[in-house]
Amino acid sequence: MVVVQPVETGCTLKMFFALHCNNLKYKNMPTQVATTDDLKDLKLELLESIKVMLNESHGKPAKRWLKSPDVRKLLNISPGTLQTLRINGTIPYTKMGGALYYDYEDIQKILIDNKKQNKLILDTKRF
């Protein structure tokens, strides 16, 4: 296993090694060399972990209840537009204290229900 310590911003590789090689707790530690095969294995493990996390979430956010900024970002709308959608009843919400919460599934259902399919109409007389 290769242990990688975080590098401070602006720290060159030479500075990094100088700082960490002088640290006493690393002096008695055995040195391990990471081969390209080790790095490839690490990359594959990381990719597999990411795939598992993405499959578990199915593209949904980690939380069911979203706050207004999350909904605005998800729908790419302004605060005023979100307020209009709330007022006219397009998007249901729950208010607790001063915070507004929106159910992710409700937003998905609204998007699906309002989906428009453009139809291509060919004018056969032009051909």
* pLDDT tens digits, 61-105: 667 899 999 999 989 999 999 999 999 999 999 999 999 999 999
Reported pTM: 0.48
Distance CA 124, CA 127 (A): 6
Tell me the average pLDDT of the chain.
Answer: 78
Angle between helices 68-75 and 104-113 (to 10 degrees): 30
Q: How many CB atoms lie within 10 A of CB 65?
A: 14
Domain parsing of the chain, residue ranges: 13-57, 65-113
